[in-house]
């Protein structure tokens, strides 16, 4: 189970594991954060969180870790108590990131597809010295990629619908590449 970690300015900074989140709260480096029915943020230190964890006020989807003297709810959001920076991040080159950059759209035919119908195409084929880079990888549907083979678009007589580029994502946009696990995350733009 994952947990959204935010800084003390309420900006999302990373997705943490449930175990890491509980350890941060236990050590006093973070507080568990819940949102009440009126949209108010409630911060809980370890003692409060442990008591709350052993109450019956949880929805059926809540996950827990068992311990010798009770259980501990895995927080859905934690807030760091001292950390107010925004980490400098670069978006890791991945299939999912390229599909997101290109909006699941084939650069040859311009149609949008589900991820299962897409491939990655090397604009300059690997067989011709093309590299795995933001500027050389682009979203392509299976049919267009098969028809193109290892040709350059100019050799095939086609023009691209858009160009490949290295994105400059903000931290929030980077976190949006994760599937939202909980409704609470939407309050922080994820």
Q: What is the CATH number of the domain that holds 102?
A: 1.10.30.50
For residue 37, the model assigns a pLDDT of: 85
Is residue 80 located within the same domain as residue 29?
yes
Contact (CB, 8 A) for 156 and 123: no
**How does pLDDT run across 121-130, given as a tens digit for each residue?**
999 999 999 9
Range of the domain at 25: 2-88+170-188
Cα 100 from Cα 175, distance rounded (Å): 12
Is residue 175 located within the same domain as residue 81?
yes
Contact (CB, 8 A) for 190 and 170: no
Is residue 14 located within the same domain as residue 80?
yes
Q: How many CB atoms lie within 10 A of CB 19?
A: 12
For residue 92, the model assigns a pLDDT of: 80
Is residue 82 located within the same domain as residue 100?
no
Residue at 161 is within a domain: no
Determine the 3-state secondary structure of 150 from DSSP.
coil
Residue at 163 is within a domain: no
| pTM, to two decimals | 0.58
Residue at 127 is within a domain: yes
Residue at 22 is within a domain: yes
Per-residue confidence in pLDDT tens, the chain, 190 aa: 889 999 988 888 888 999 999 999 999 999 999 988 888 899 999 999 999 998 888 887 888 999 888 899 999 999 999 987 776 666 788 898 899 889 899 999 999 999 999 999 999 999 999 999 999 999 999 999 999 999 998 898 888 998 998 887 655 555 555 666 677 777 766 6
For residue 190, the model assigns a pLDDT of: 65
Give long-range contacts, CB 8 A cutoff, 24+ apart: 35-39: 35/77, 35/184, 35/187, 39/187
Question: Domain count of the chain?
Answer: 2
Is residue 69 located within the same domain as residue 11?
yes
Is residue 80 located within the same domain as residue 102?
no
For residue 29, the model assigns a pLDDT of: 96
For residue 156, the model assigns a pLDDT of: 87
Is residue 6 located within the same domain as residue 83?
yes
Contact (CB, 8 A) for 139 and 158: no
For residue 101, the model assigns a pLDDT of: 85
Residue at 23 is within a domain: yes
């Amino acid at each position: 189970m994952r947990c959204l970690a935010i800084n003390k300015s309420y900006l999302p900074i990373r997705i943490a594991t449930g175990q890491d989140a509980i350890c941060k709260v236990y050590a006093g480096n973070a507080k568990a954060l819940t949102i009440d029915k009126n949209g108010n943020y409630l911060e809980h230190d370890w003692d409060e969180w442990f008591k709350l964890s052993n109450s019956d006020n949880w929805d059926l989807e809540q996950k827990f870790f068992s311990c010798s003297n009770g259980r501990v709810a895995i927080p859905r959001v934690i807030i760091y108590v001292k950390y107010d920076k925004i980490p400098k991040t670069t978006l890791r080159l991945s299939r999912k990131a390229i599909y997101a950059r290109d909006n699941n759209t084939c650069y040859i035919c311009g149609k949008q597809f589900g991820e299962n119908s897409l491939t990655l195409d090397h604009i300059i084929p690997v067989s011709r010295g093309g590299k795995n880079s933001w500027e050389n990888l682009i979203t392509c549907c299976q049919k267009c990629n098969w028809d193109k083979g290892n040709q350059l678009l100019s050799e095939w007589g086609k023009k691209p619908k858009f160009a490949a580029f290295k994105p400059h994502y903000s931290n929030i946009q980077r976190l949006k590449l994760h599937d939202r696990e909980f409704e609470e995350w939407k309050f922080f733009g994820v």
